Amino acid sequence: METPIHQLSDLFSQLGLPDDAASIEAFVASHRPLADGVRLADAPFWSVSQAQLLRQKLADDADWVGLVDSLNAMLSA
């Protein structure tokens, strides 16, 4: 198994959000759970540019996909 290149904090930084552990936990706590059937990038709390970034990360199918999926799982719990 390969070591991930990026961390969840890197994704938050890319989204323009505070990227320390406490801020990430607070973000997840205040935005979960996602409504059934709502895709992560379609959630109403993202700005247009944040939603575009998430869609692009998924479309690129690069090493960011796992982090986007992890964030989705955290918000869906």
pLDDT tens digit sequence for 5-62: 889 999 999 999 999 999 999 999 999 999 999 999 999 999 999 999 999 999 987 7
Q: What is the pLDDT of residue 46?
A: 98
Please give the Cα distance from 56 to 26 (Å, whole number).
Answer: 25
Q: What is the pLDDT of residue 2?
A: 58
Q: How far lies 57's CA from each of 15, 22, 30, 74, in Å?
A: 11, 24, 23, 17
pLDDT band for position 63 (cuts 50, 70, 90): confident
Q: What is the pLDDT of residue 4?
A: 66
pTM: 0.89
